[in-house]
Amino acid sequence: MPELAHYPKDAPAEKILASIRSDGACILDDVLEPGFVAALRGETDVHMEATENGHDAFAGKLTTRTGGLVVRSPKCRELIQHPRILEFCDGFLLEFCERYQLHLGQIIRIRPGETEQPIHRDRWAWGTHLAHVEPQLNTIWALSDFTAENGATRVVPGSTRWDDSRKAEPGEITLAEMKAGSVLVYTGSVFHSGGANTSQDDRIGLNITYTLGWLRQEENQYLSAPPELAKEFDSELQRLIGYSMGQYALGYYTPPGAPGEIAGIADPQFAVNPNMAHAGDLGGSDLLENIVDDVGAKLDG
């Protein structure tokens, strides 16, 4: 059975990114202190306990998935902006976009008796249309220990370059066993799934994922965190959850208003910060210059 690489929380970003590119996944051990995990659980367990089980084999009939975490949990907001993870996103995603965004935030609880989830790729959220690009970078933060018995995530190292139709053999699958406070970092192209829980305890993980700014998010943050709530967040978090231009001329809107009140187009930031200038804003000259430079480089090449 192959093994996933484990790294200390302060390992050089280059090592982590190399491992992600070669294997599709790796684990950073003991990133969070027990007190942080306990505080996060204190904010979110009440919502998790009120969440129903899934209704099919993929979602898990003994698995709960609790979203809306940007609004519900300050500790989750901290993890969404964790500097180490955003460092990896910078190194992995900015090759394919001008700006990345939050794709989803979800607490996944695998209950005792749950069976193995079908092995899949997360990039299949967009069908099989994105085989030519890495569309996302993902994390699963262990809020309980992940063990072979309680449903540790199953991962197929090195499967990022496989054809979508390739089936993993048992000997190609490994388990992301890790202690609470550790984090599995993995790509949208690596084959993986939730494991079977044959223990007597829940396996609880926090799935936070990021995607290219020009793709639609899996969790619709504009509904989970509408402007009247998102306006309370700091500006960097607002941009990260999607209140920003994906790139030049991508994602602007026209603010609603009475006839003659507002006629111009606006950056999505205007929805959560109405004091900013907005008329005719297509995203800023810096984003346009990046696109022009990129096109020019491709033509020269």
pLDDT digits (tens, 9 = 90+) for 192-210: 999 999 999 999 999 999 9
**pLDDT tens digits for range 71-120:** 999 999 999 999 999 999 999 999 999 999 999 999 999 999 999 999 99
Residue 7: predicted pLDDT: 98
Residue 76 backbone dihedrals phi, psi, to 5 degrees:
-65, -35
Query: Do 15 and 113 lie in a common domain?
Result: yes
What global pTM score does this model have?
0.92
Query: Do 64 and 205 lie in a common domain?
Result: yes
Query: Do 206 and 251 lie in a common domain?
Result: no
CA–CA dist 291, 248 (Å, integer): 8
Query: Do 72 and 191 lie in a common domain?
Result: yes
Q: Is residue 226 part of a domain?
A: no
Q: Is residue 203 part of a domain?
A: yes
CA–CA dist 104, 159 (Å, integer): 23
Q: Is residue 132 part of a domain?
A: yes
Question: Lowest mean pLDDT: which of 45-54, 213-222, 224-233, 278-287?
Answer: 278-287
Asked if residue 226 has pLDDT above 90, the reply is yes
Q: Which amino acid, 174?
A: T
String of DSSP letters for 189-221: SS-EEPPP--SSS-EEEEEEEEEETTS--SS-H
Q: Which amino acid, 80?
A: I
Can you give the residue range of the structural domain that contains 267?
A: 245-300
Cβ atoms < 10 Å from Cβ of 145? 17
Following CA atoms 100, 69, 145, 125 in sequence, which dihedral angle do they give, to the nearest 10 degrees? -50
Task: Kindly state the average pLDDT of the residues 48-66.
Answer: 97
Confidence of residue 277 (pLDDT cuts 50, 70, 90): low
Q: Is residue 280 part of a domain?
A: yes
Q: Is residue 240 part of a domain?
A: no
**pLDDT tens digits for range 140-162:** 999 999 999 999 999 999 999 99
Residue 288: predicted pLDDT: 59
DSSP-derived letter for residue 61 is T
Average pLDDT of the chain is 92
Confidence of residue 213 (pLDDT cuts 50, 70, 90): very high
Total number of domains in the chain: 2
